[in-house]
Amino acid sequence: MVTGKGQALSAMMAASPVATEEADLVRAAQRGEQDAFTALISTCDQGVLRLAHNLLKNEQDAFDIYQETFLRVFRSLHVFRFDCSFRTWVYRIATNLCLDYLRKRKVRKEESSLVNTGQGEVLDRTAVVAEENPNLDPQRSLLSAELRDAVERVLGELTPRERLVFEMRHYQGLRLRAIGEVLGTTEEAAKNCLFRATQKMRLALGDFI
Amino acid sequence: MTCEAARRQFDLYLYGELQFGEEEVVERHVEECASCREELSRCRSLHHAMDALESVPPAGLLQASRREFWSRVSRERVAPVGIVARIWSWVSRVTASPAFMRPVGAVALLAVGFMGARAWDSAKSKSEQPVLHVRSVVPDASGGFRLVLDEVRQRTVTGRLDDARIQGMILSAAAGSTDPMLRASSMDALKDHCERADVRKVLLTAMRQDPNFSVRLKAIEGLKPFARDPETRRALSEAVLSDDHPSVRTMAIDLLAGDRENAVIGVLQELMLRESNPDIRQKSLKALRASNASPSTF
């Protein structure tokens, strides 16, 4: 549960003195001030990288999403019109890129990723295993490998949109309203999407808990 | 409220996404219904299990991503902007303009095409002139553009570091050159002038963002006398936890070692959780012991 994180992040995304400061930075960056642009990027780049890494479970893909997101930001900043917050705009770019990656990966997976090893074993070539440091979190090492596999499996079965909403709500701690804004939809639609995702997971993982 | 209706709300309840009234109804139902209480507890366990499965980006990925990004940005900035790119920039601007401006934009583009065709031959004949490098193109309020140009013209200047003009040029080379050798030698020249805030700022930025680890090492070396300065300590802590080069992490630990600040101890304890290099782990452990701190946070 990440309600604490959620409140903090949502507060950052809401209109506030922070938002005013952000708008000032955007204007300065649009005038070509390098320091302002650097400050803007550093407000959200860690979140974007974490989102991409957790969603795609692949270091190289997360790195690529980071580059593509912020290069688009750099090239299009002069047309940013303050229709939403800068952070929301950046997340919108990043999530669209992540969705494309997930969709392509799903298509590839449906097409030809399952290979027979010839020894009665079927391997999924596109399945990626998250790099794990056993020292990182003792709780993680206690979690049974079986449950972890089951979670990976059910996450892979979610639609890209469900996966993204779940990721943003559970791990990034974004409020549903903010998620709706990022995805260009309503809070209600984001809520339904999250509901479908958690239902699928509860059904699939019910026996483990 | 029925059990089914309550259970549909459990995830939103745990995420704190229910309205105050809805939350009250769920809580009242759970208090009275043992099986829903049990179901809520299972949901909570599932959420905790999911928390533990978050995959954290490996140390160094953020720094590596930042460095690559800034290096790409600097390449884009110094690349000569050709006529096609300039026209494309105009096209982007016009298509992103409000609808009522678009006819004006279309006429402007026609004019650009006409003038461009005429200018083509004369541009060819002037090709022997020095090429201008466009550093930035920023739209201004009047609908035009403000361009910053680099003119390449070589000349030699000499002077001491107390000459503001010389120091300004070295600062600019340290911060903006695309040549890592030049950035490193500029860092060397600046390292004895850290008492100046603008020099420290350049060194701190290099420590955090420079794509070349030798330049980052030079920057850290330059900041040695200011290792206790809060901003330097923050940058060193970031380097310890996320720089992808072991020499940089080692040098940053050396500078932080002996600092008994809780924040620094926390950084070293965090490093013990994520660092895989045995030498660096050993160094961090030694620094923690020197501060009478435990290697973990319990």
User: CA triplet B284, A62, A37: central angle to 5 degrees?
Assistant: 85
B230-243 residue pLDDT tens: 889 889 988 988 88
Cβ pair A194:B73 closer than 8 A = no
pLDDT at res. A111:
46
Q: Does domain B164-290 have CATH number 1.25.10.10?
A: yes
Closest partner residue to A49 among B45, B65, B72, by Cβ? B65
Calpha distance A58→B13 (Å, rounded): 31
Query: Which residue do the tokens 């974004």 mark?
Result: A174
Instruction: Per residue of chain A (209 residues), give pLDDT as tens.
Output: 433 333 434 444 444 556 678 888 999 998 888 888 998 998 899 999 999 998 888 899 999 999 999 999 999 998 888 888 899 999 999 999 998 888 877 665 544 444 444 445 544 433 433 434 444 454 544 556 777 778 888 888 889 899 999 999 998 888 999 999 999 899 999 999 999 998 888 888 776 66
CB atoms closer than 10 angstroms to residue B229: 15
pLDDT at res. A179:
93
CA distance between the termini of chain B: 43
Quickly name the fold that domain A3-208 has.
Answer: Rna Polymerase Sigma Factor; Chain: A (1.10.1740)
Closest chain B residue to the Cα of A155, Cα to Cα: B50
Provide, as residue numbers in chain B, all residues whose Cβ is less than 8 Å from the Cβ of A198: 11
A155, exposed or middle or buried, with CB in 10 Å at 0-12, 13-18, 19+? buried
pLDDT at res. A61:
92
User: CA triplet B184, B190, B194: central angle to 5 degrees?
Assistant: 130
pLDDT at res. A92:
93
Query: Which residue do the tokens 């997971």 mark?
Result: A201
Cβ pair A57:B55 closer than 8 A = yes
**Number of helical H runs and strand E runs in chain B:** 14, 2
- Pick from A76-85, B61-70, B152-161: least confident: B152-161
A88-142 residue pLDDT tens: 999 999 999 998 888 877 665 544 444 444 445 544 433 433 434 444 454 544 5
Higher pLDDT, B19 or A5: B19
- Tell me how close the Cα of B152 comes to any Cα of chain A, in angstroms: 21
Cβ pair A3:B69 closer than 8 A = no
**Would the pLDDT of B22 be above 80?**
yes
**Would the pLDDT of B93 be above 70?**
no
3-state DSSP assignment of residue B133: strand
Closest chain B residue to the Cα of A38, Cα to Cα: B70
pLDDT at res. A74:
93
CB B215 within 8 A of CB B246: no
**Would the pLDDT of B130 be above 60?**
no
Closest chain A residue to the Cα of B55, Cα to Cα: A54
Chain B contact for A78 (CB, 8 A cutoff): yes
Nearest alpha carbon to residue B55 among A124, A182, A51, A46: A51
CB atoms closer than 10 angstroms to residue A59: 20
Provide, as residue numbers in chain B, all residues whose Cβ is less than 8 Å from the Cβ of A136: 56, 273-274
Closest chain A residue to the Cα of B270, Cα to Cα: A136
Q: Which strand (E) or helix (H) includes residue A114?
A: strand A114-116
- Pick from B69-73, B123-127, B177-181: least confident: B123-127
At residue B102 the predicted structure's pLDDT band, cuts being 50, 70 and 90, is low
At residue B123 the predicted structure's pLDDT band, cuts being 50, 70 and 90, is very low
- For chain A positions 9-68, those within 8 Å of chain B (CB to CB) are 30-32, 38, 41, 45-46, 49-50, 53-54, 57, 59, 62-63, 66-67
At residue B69 the predicted structure's pLDDT band, cuts being 50, 70 and 90, is very high
Q: What is the mean pLDDT of chain B?
A: 78
- For chain B positions 192-221, those within 8 Å of chain A (CB to CB) are 205, 209
Mutate to test the interface with A, among B19, B41, B45, B54 (most CBs of A within 10 A): B54
Q: Where are the domains positioned within chain A?
A: 3-208
Mean pLDDT is highest, among A32-41, A124-133, B95-104, B268-277, for A32-41
DSSP strand pairing (B132-139 vs A122-124) = unpaired
Structure tokens, B120:
């083509």
Higher pLDDT, B79 or A82: A82
- For chain B positions 67-96, those within 8 Å of chain A (CB to CB) are 68-69, 72-73, 76, 92-93, 96
Cβ pair B66:A175 closer than 8 A = no
Cβ pair A3:B16 closer than 8 A = yes
pLDDT at res. B255:
87
pLDDT at res. A166:
92
Closest chain A residue to the Cα of B59, Cα to Cα: A133
Cβ pair B58:A59 closer than 8 A = yes
The pairs formed by B287-290 with CB atoms below 8 angstroms and a separation of 24 or more are: B287/B253, B287/B256, B287/B257, B287/B258, B290/B257, B290/B258
Q: What is the mean pLDDT of residues B154-171?
A: 82
- Pick from A3-7, A190-194, B111-115, B169-173: least confident: A3-7
At residue B126 the predicted structure's pLDDT band, cuts being 50, 70 and 90, is very low
Cβ pair A49:B64 closer than 8 A = no
- For chain A positions 122-161, those within 8 Å of chain B (CB to CB) are 130-133, 135-137, 139-140, 142-143, 147-148, 151
Provide, as residue numbers in chain A, all residues whose Cβ is less than 8 Å from the Cβ of B139: 78
Q: Where are the domains positioned within chain B?
A: 3-50, 77-151, 164-290
pLDDT at res. B269:
85
Mutate to test the interface with A, among B4, B7, B11, B198 (most CBs of A within 10 A): B11
Cβ pair A148:B53 closer than 8 A = yes
**Would the pLDDT of B55 be above 80?**
no
Backbone CA torsion sign across B261, B263, B265, B268: negative
- Tell me how close the Cα of A118 comes to any Cα of chain B, in angstroms: 32
**Hey, which bits of B85-233 come out as E strands?**
132-139, 145-151
